[in-house]
Homo-oligomer: A and B are copies of this chain.
């Protein structure tokens, strides 16, 4: 799929002196090989790759600062890169430049179990973090599916399956270390649970997608492992019945830990890919956290609500290995769906609406996909009013792309009209820049542009993402 090419015209060759300086500093951690550049010039979106001129690997905040000072001096774009799992074209090197890979910054900085906090370098992934703290009785709940890096998760304001109970990266990042566009190191926030001490720099960088600075360390909240966890699958006669069950559960204030919707298409794909035998109907996957009694109490309330919506029986997965299998299958949905159409790529989009409008928003989007004969699935973190549409398209067929983009545009317009948002958790990247204006209006976008100009006056931080440099 093509990308907005306007910035490619601004592409400048990498200054020889800069490359030499980077090679001098980083030795074999500075590469210009085609393979390395290709790997870093694409993400999980369906965009064609767009390569940086060089890829560098930093190991410390001080190295990141030194790299930024050099690139600032030469006014060369820098694209921070975590696990490469973003979905909206976030890491494409639209104007070339240097991709700064943070995956080698994968050290734990500090675990303060007694305070329920951990500080990690940006390249630590969520699975690594949970492994490192497994003896503390604590866990880090945010789970976007991919084994993303904490830096990347902060930069895209990630969330995922557990957010309905534990919140998103917006609520769970306490502090950051950030390198600014001109190579200064700043610390935002502290390990205090709350603070009124000045402007919320932390939340300016959370969700900024590498366009304002580079996140090099992240301090997050941890949570005590629940005394009891149980998970269940439940089938519904229709999408509406499933989604209405979720709406009522949220309105009742049940502190459910996870509630995921899968449509029939998604279930079918997962069954084939993961050799599961889930009933091929609209499904909800539930997970309950709490004391033994509270888990039981929550489950009873939700079972009542589900029964009132014509649901089948709950099938329980109480053994940890069964739960893991279930959630692994859920997380593989993206790869499972790609198998439904050989050679396809996925246009994956998401939106989020106020909970009462969710059934309507999903149903209309399903109808739209079907009218357009798209191979698709709708799955989602429905407890938050957030869902995903995955559309399997031929990336070389403009008509196919246009159909899917039509569905996407109408879904976003629908979500915004319902007072929702054009993306609940994927971020803006390249793919949702136009929708951002639609959602926030020109004045708010001007404000965002003002922020970008102030924090990145040379427009070198992941340029061309979130907001255009100039007013269109």
Binding site for B on A (CB under 8 A): 112, 114-117, 156-159, 163, 167-168, 170-171, 180, 184-188, 190-201, 203-204, 206-208, 212, 223-224, 226, 247, 250-253, 255, 290-291, 293-294, 297, 352-357, 384-386, 415-416, 419-428, 432, 435-436, 439-441, 443-448, 450-455, 466-467
The smallest beta-carbon distance between A250 and chain B, in angstroms, is 7
The smallest beta-carbon distance between A53 and chain B, in angstroms, is 28
Contacting A439 at CB < 8 Å: which of B190, B424, B447? Answer: B190
A432 to chain B: which residues have CB within 8 Å? 197
Known A-B contacts A188-B444, A443-B184; A422 and B197 likewise in contact (beta carbons under 8 Å): yes
Q: Which of A201, A297, A419 has the most CB of B within 10 A?
A: A419
Name A223's closest neighbour in chain B (CB-CB): B253
The reply to whether B423 and A385 form a contact with Cβ atoms under 8 Å apart is no
The reply to whether A204 and B207 form a contact with Cβ atoms under 8 Å apart is no
The reply to whether B116 and A194 form a contact with Cβ atoms under 8 Å apart is no
The reply to whether A425 and B194 form a contact with Cβ atoms under 8 Å apart is yes
Between-chain CB contacts (< 8 Å), 14 pairs:
A112-B354, A115-B355, A170-B200, A190-B439, A191-B420, A192-B352, A194-B424, A195-B352, A197-B421, A198-B440, A199-B448, A204-B451, A293-B293, A450-B455
A354 to chain B: which residues have CB within 8 Å? 112, 114-115, 117, 191-193
A428 to chain B: which residues have CB within 8 Å? 196-198
The reply to whether B196 and A356 form a contact with Cβ atoms under 8 Å apart is no
Name A290's closest neighbour in chain B (CB-CB): B294
**Quick one: copies of this chain in the complex?**
2
6 more CB-based (< 8 A) A-B contacts, given A168-B194, A192-B353: A180-B443, A186-B447, A187-B444, A193-B385, A197-B428, A198-B436
The smallest beta-carbon distance between A421 and chain B, in angstroms, is 4
Q: Which of A294, A432, A435, A452 has the most CB of B within 10 A?
A: A294
Taken together as a complex, chains A and B put the C-alpha atoms of A167 and B174 apart, in Å, by 13
Taken together as a complex, chains A and B put the C-alpha atoms of A46 and B422 apart, in Å, by 47
Known A-B contacts A291-B297, A297-B293, A450-B455; A423 and B352 likewise in contact (beta carbons under 8 Å): no
The reply to whether B185 and A443 form a contact with Cβ atoms under 8 Å apart is yes
The smallest beta-carbon distance between A360 and chain B, in angstroms, is 12
The reply to whether A200 and B196 form a contact with Cβ atoms under 8 Å apart is no
The smallest beta-carbon distance between A352 and chain B, in angstroms, is 4
A184 to chain B: which residues have CB within 8 Å? 443, 446
Q: Which of A184, A194, A384 has the most CB of B within 10 A?
A: A194
The reply to whether B454 and A194 form a contact with Cβ atoms under 8 Å apart is no
Taken together as a complex, chains A and B put the C-alpha atoms of A168 and B171 apart, in Å, by 10
Name A454's closest neighbour in chain B (CB-CB): B454
A115 to chain B: which residues have CB within 8 Å? 354-357
The reply to whether A180 and B291 form a contact with Cβ atoms under 8 Å apart is no
Taken together as a complex, chains A and B put the C-alpha atoms of A185 and B467 apart, in Å, by 19
Q: Which of A186, A199, A212, A224 has the most CB of B within 10 A?
A: A199
The smallest beta-carbon distance between A193 and chain B, in angstroms, is 5
Name A412's closest neighbour in chain B (CB-CB): B197
Taken together as a complex, chains A and B put the C-alpha atoms of A112 and B190 apart, in Å, by 35
A187 to chain B: which residues have CB within 8 Å? 440-441, 444
Taken together as a complex, chains A and B put the C-alpha atoms of A354 and B112 apart, in Å, by 9
The reply to whether A192 and B443 form a contact with Cβ atoms under 8 Å apart is no
The reply to whether A448 and B171 form a contact with Cβ atoms under 8 Å apart is no
A168 to chain B: which residues have CB within 8 Å? 194
The reply to whether B250 and A194 form a contact with Cβ atoms under 8 Å apart is no
Known A-B contacts A198-B436, A250-B116, A451-B451; A443 and B224 likewise in contact (beta carbons under 8 Å): no
User: Considering the complex of A and B, which 5 residue pairs feature the smallest CB-CB distances, nearest first?
Assistant: A224-B253, A454-B454, A115-B354, A195-B421, A114-B356
Taken together as a complex, chains A and B put the C-alpha atoms of A421 and B198 apart, in Å, by 10
A451 to chain B: which residues have CB within 8 Å? 199, 204, 451, 454-455
The reply to whether A419 and B252 form a contact with Cβ atoms under 8 Å apart is no
The reply to whether B180 and A171 form a contact with Cβ atoms under 8 Å apart is no
